[in-house]
Each structure stands twice: as structure tokens, then as C-alpha cells.
Amino acid sequence: MDGQSARPIAITIPTEIWLRICELSGERLTALAEVWIKEGGRVLRLVKELQVGEIGVHVACRGIGQCVPPMHSNGMQTMQDNLAKMNNLTRLTINATTLTSEMMREIAQMENLRGLTLQQVCIIETQDESVKGVLLLAHLRLLDTRWHGPNNENGLIRACKDLQTLQFTWDRSRIRLVERGEKWWNESCQSVKVYSRRSSWSRAGRELDAERQTFVDVLRAFKGARTLHIEGWVPVFKDGDASNERLSIAITHFEGPVRFLKFSRRLPNLRIVKLSDHGLVRGEVNELDLQLAKVKRLEVKVYASDKETLCVMLAVMKDLRELKVKFCDDVNEPNELLGSIADMLDFNPPIERLWVTADDPFVDDINHQHLRTFEALCRELKEISIGDRRWKTKQGFWIEEMDIPSNRSN
């Protein structure tokens, strides 16, 4: 190839390879930067997934105009222009930055976007309706999102008519939306996950009463949700917080703190319960509040001293088939812990599969008398896993199985 017929190599190579060159070279080479200006629009149309910002970067939001780190106005405009060219973008994640309401409207107009994550994002210059029309999002995550101006988070969620999964951070500012009389519901969302921290709740008084009721009302809005996951701290709820209405007839899977089971009577179709507490507080488990007769699987983290409390819970689980117990005790003595399991099974639950694990691995020497004790208490028992070992009953004998798959408890 002579000098007259030579063309810039960045123009002739496939776009995918050119994009990789740009990633490796950055914008240090002027020639590459010039070609990017000409070819960038074509490349942007190929992008299917995009992440803006860094995961794990902490943003301190101190109010309007004081978000850290802020995005320069030129950077916002460049980002907005680039997003407008990404016609095929299906998943967008934005971390630790600021957005304008105009940019939010640009995102809302992306016809192929199905997944959106805003994490530690401050949205500035908001209007009463930052999001208009119908969004085709199937998956939405709003984590530590701050609105400087009217909070349009509920409006964003409400606009997603085909929503399948939702994750959001609880904030007491939602109480103001309810006081304005805002009522809505969603029937398409199958899974709801709420992140909640102690600092997001008032300490006591009427404010806390109103927040608890609002929390329940927000969850009740997702009438089709089958899975509810609450991660973090929540206050002790009262009977009146849910009024006399059912919370949901669709929810079958619950993961979160045991104190939320105060509403188990409002969740009549629960089948799987996974408690996030490390240990069970006796005062927070009242058999009179628990309606768990249809639960078939329970996962719980306990201390050996929690045996009476867990026994109370198992007593109301008339259809329990699978029990997974993880001990949090510092001292891991198999005979003591397995003896505690026997005490927990005192009401003879009809379980078929039992898992016992601990923070420290069990020693290899397992007394088979424990297996026979469990079988005597639970006549339907067919499989026992202790630590990394598993036994199945065959013709009246407990036979250990070797080479247990790592996902045996799923």
C-alpha cells in the first residue's frame, strides 16, 4: 500500500475492533479522537448495555447544588447527546452522579430500554412531571436516589406499565406523597425488593406511625408481586398499620426481618420464608400473630439459645416440608448444636428435608444418634444435610451420599 492510496486504518477496520481500540487508547491520540467524532454516532447505535459512573463510589448529598461529585454542564449535555444516539440500548446503569430532569425525559423516551438502575444519583431541576407517558421498562432499580425539587419517583414507577422487578430504597419523604392523596397500584411487577436503614425512619411519635402505615401502603400497591424482599432495618409494626385489608394475596416468597411477619395474616399464600435476622428475639415472635400454615420452606439464622423461639414458629407451620437452620454461635460444638435442633423439632413438624449449617464447618465425626433422633421427631424426614455431608433414608437406614453438588440446597 503506497502513501497515496493509504487510508486511516481506524476507518477500514470493523467497528467492533475500532471500539476496542478506543477503549484501550482513551482520548490521548488525536487521530483516534478525530475519527471518533466522525464514526462515533455509528458506534453508539450498536451499544446494548451502558454503565455510567463507578459502582461503590459514595456520594454525599448535602442539598441542592451540593451533590458530590457533580457532573459539569458540558458533561451532562454530552451524555444526553450520546444517549439520544443509542437507539438500541436495552440496559442502562448510572452511578454516583447528578442528572437533570431533562436527561430523565431523554431516558424515558428510549424505546428499547428494558432495564434502568439509578444508584446514588441526584436528580436536579425536577418539575412536577419529570416523566410523562408510558415506559417499557421491565426492570427498575432506584437505590439512594435523591430528587431536588418535586419527588417524581412514584411517577417513574407508575409509568412502567410492564414492570417485572423493582428495587428501591425506602425514604420517609414518601409520606408527603401520600399526604397529597397520591394513590396508585401496579399489577405486572412480580418481585419487589426494599432497602431500608434505621436512619430512614423517625425515632417515635406520630411521624413514625405515619411512616409505618405508608410503608405498608406502598407495598400493597404491587398487587401482582409474588416475591417480597426487605433488606435492612424496619421498626416494630402494629396491627393498625395495615388496617383490616390484606397486604397481598399474590406474595408466596418472603425474605426479610421476622418482625414483618406481624402481617403474615395479611399474606395468606406465603409458601417460602427466609428470615434475615441473626438470631430470633422472643418478644418479636408471637404465635398469636403468625399465620404460616401454608409455608413449605423456612430458612433461618439462629443461636442455640433460640430453640424455644424457633419451636414456637415451627408449631404453627403445619405444612412445612423443608427447614434450613444456620447457627450463628461462635462456639461450634456439633453435639450441642444438633441437640438444640432436636429441641426445636419438639412439635413434630412434617419436614422431609433438613439442612444444618454453621459459620464454622462441622467436624467430620457426626454422631448418628442425632439422625435417629431427628427421624423419631419428624416421621416424614427423608434427607438430612449437616455441614458438607448429606444422608438419605433407605429401607430404614440412613445412608451417606458422597460428592454432594454445591447447589444441593437450592
130: in domain: no
* Mean pLDDT, all residues of the chain: 82
Query: Tell me, what's the pLDDT at 285?
Result: 75
Query: Tell me, what's the pLDDT at 67?
Result: 56
pLDDT at residue 108 tops 60? yes
Distance CA(139)–CA(92), nearest Å, equals 10
Q: How many domains does the chain have?
A: 2
Query: Tell me, what's the pLDDT at 70?
Result: 53
Alpha helices for 86-143 (secondary structure H): 101-108
Q: What is the mean pLDDT of residues 27-47?
A: 60
**How large a percentage of the chain has pLDDT more than 90?**
41
Cell of 316: 404453627
Query: Tell me, what's the pLDDT at 212?
Result: 93
- Phi and psi torsions of 402, nearest 5°: -100, 165
| pLDDT confidence bin for 80, thresholds 50/70/90 | confident
Query: Tell me, what's the pLDDT at 101?
Result: 80
| pLDDT confidence bin for 10, thresholds 50/70/90 | very low
Burial of 330 (0-12, 13-18, 19+ CB in 10 A): exposed
Query: Tell me, what's the pLDDT at 75?
Result: 63
CA 235 → CA 30, 160, 197, 241, 264, distances in Å? 58, 30, 10, 11, 16
Distance CA(180)–CA(203), nearest Å, equals 23
339: in domain: yes
Residue-wise pLDDT for 356-407, tens only, equals 998 777 766 788 899 999 999 999 999 999 988 999 999 889 999 986 555 5
Residue-wise pLDDT for 159-195, tens only, equals 899 999 999 999 887 766 555 556 778 999 999 999 9
166: in domain: no
CB 185 within 8 A of CB 157: no
| pLDDT confidence bin for 329, thresholds 50/70/90 | confident
Kindly report the pTM of this predicted structure: 0.84
297: in domain: yes
- Phi and psi torsions of 122, nearest 5°: -105, 125
Burial of 249 (0-12, 13-18, 19+ CB in 10 A): exposed
Query: In which domain, by residue range, is 2 found?
Result: 1-44
pLDDT at residue 7 tops 80? no
CB 269 within 8 A of CB 228: no
Q: What is the mean pLDDT of residues 103-108?
A: 86
Query: Tell me, what's the pLDDT at 147?
Result: 84
CB 216 within 8 A of CB 247: yes
Query: Tell me, what's the pLDDT at 295?
Result: 97
Q: What is the mean pLDDT of residues 268-278?
A: 95
| pLDDT confidence bin for 122, thresholds 50/70/90 | confident
Q: Which residue has the higher pLDDT, 375 or 28?
A: 375
Residue entry with cell 436527561: 103
381: in domain: yes
pLDDT at residue 36 tops 70? no
Q: What's the number of CA atoms in the CB half-sphere (13 Å) around residue 384?
A: 24
118: in domain: no
pLDDT at residue 335 tops 50? yes
How wide is the angle at C-alpha 85 spanned by C-alphas 84 and 86, nearest 5°?
95
Query: Tell me, what's the pLDDT at 190?
Result: 97
402: in domain: yes
Query: Tell me, what's the pLDDT at 30?
Result: 46
**How large a percentage of the chain has pLDDT more than 70?**
77
Distance CA(197)–CA(174), nearest Å, equals 15
187: in domain: no
Query: Tell me, what's the pLDDT at 74?
Result: 57
- Three-class SS state of 266: helix
